[in-house]
Amino acid sequence: MPQNMNEAAARLRDAIRAATAGLIDREHLAELLILAAVAQEHLLVVGPPGTAKSAVVRRVAQSLGGNYFEYLLGRFTEPSELFGPVNLSKLREGLVETDVSGMLPEADIAFLDEVFLGSTAILNTLLGVLNERQFRRGHTRIRCPLRVCVAAANGLPEDEGLAAFADRFLLHVFVDAVPDNKLEDLLAGGWAVGQAPLTARADLASLDMLNRAVPDVDMSLVRADLAQAIRLLRQANVQLSDRRIVKAQHLIAAATVLAGRTTASRADLWPLVYAIPTSTGQQNAREALRDLLAEARHPLLHAVVEEAVQQPLARVARLTETAARLLAQAMSPETQAQAEALLREIDANFDNATMPPELAVPRARLVLMASGD
């Protein structure tokens, strides 16, 4: 992998850190957004109101720069509110053209809240933007620069027509309120968010560079494992359409590129979990694919891999990075307490026989920190 591509991936990681600072348990959502953008696929976020869905997307967009469009849809939302009004001067000439200035067709990153409340006219037009990156209305034909669209809803639709629309979002992620044991972190983080202005840490050029590398990823070594994963999912009554199965390869290839490699391996199979459209199906997949996903890990996308597979090796990158951050800080009662907590987590996941080599040395230094030496 060329050095400039590794640097681009590192810039995206920095953008994720900046965007999610203070947003508790939402780093995996930001990482999944970056994966979707590199794969040029779209993301559906399902969860109750007030769970920071829009905040994550908005802050990631700020970290990346470019044109951002956000809208809350309702049952009476007009297509012009998303795509722009009819150009009246052109209409007088007999041409039905749309003025898209500042609207969704010009967006690089878009967030559509309560997307399933959109009318048939809105959703049909959206399909062209999402699938083909083309906006067509009357005499208007525009190529859209959209890298990723994130849609949000409180739940999955039961209506067959809306369910078919939801299926156009390859990635599905389910979020919930922050748990009781992290309420103090939620309060502290929420107070700090917005205190300092968020500036761009990466750029759309980084996304585009990595996206161009996705088709060149060698998938041959992982294709048999992916086929076996689909068989295991079917045995567990977790069904995926042929389209989602084929397009899941884009996600695996994007994860490979973000990891700084050109050949996909078992370590990159984890995005398949997010291609499963229901929360129950994703949980069943974690069990059915436990052995195949045991090697899952990623040097940049820590939280989303942990959430996908919920196995020890997926935690190594985060544990190693956290250890390095603590060891770089000056000794204080706070860092000593954090070192003790991190040691407890490391030892809960690994013993001497299973300790990954990259974690063994930081652990030994953390022991010294925790003892005050």
Q: Amino acid identity, residue 365?
A: R
Measured between alpha carbons, how far is 82 from 130 in angstroms, rounded to an integer? 14
User: CA dist 179 to 55, 88, 121, 182, 362, Å?
Assistant: 18, 52, 39, 6, 29
Which pLDDT tens digit goes with each residue over 287-307? 999 999 999 999 899 999 999
Percentage of the chain surpassing pLDDT 90? 61
Kindly state the average pLDDT of the residues 2-17: 85
- Mean pLDDT taken over the chain: 90
The one-letter amino acid code at 295 reads E
93: pLDDT strictly greater than 80: no
Nearest to 167 by CA among 131, 121, 215: 131
* Of residues 364 and 138, more confidently modeled: 364
203-242 pLDDT, tens digit each: 899 999 999 999 999 999 999 999 999 999 999 999 899 9
Q: What pLDDT score does 126 carry?
A: 94
Write out the two tokens for 294: 């045991």
- Determine the average pLDDT of the residues in 177-190: 86
Beta-carbon neighbour count of residue 130 at 10 Å?
21
- Strands 134-137, 140-143: pairing is antiparallel
Q: What percent of the chain has pLDDT over 70?
A: 95
pLDDT, greater one: 328 or 263: 263
pLDDT at residue 266, as a whole number: 94
pLDDT above 70 for 156: yes
What pLDDT was estimated at residue 291?
94
The structure tokens listed for 47 are 């969860």
pLDDT digits (tens, 9 = 90+) for 95-138: 767 888 999 999 999 999 999 999 999 999 999 999 999 998 87
If pLDDT is split at 50, 70 and 90, which confidence band does 314 have?
confident
pLDDT value at 45 more than 90: yes
Token code pair at residue 321: 């990075």
pLDDT tens-digit series, residues 234-267: 999 998 999 999 999 999 999 999 999 999 999 9
155's CB contacts (< 8 A; 6+ apart) are 46
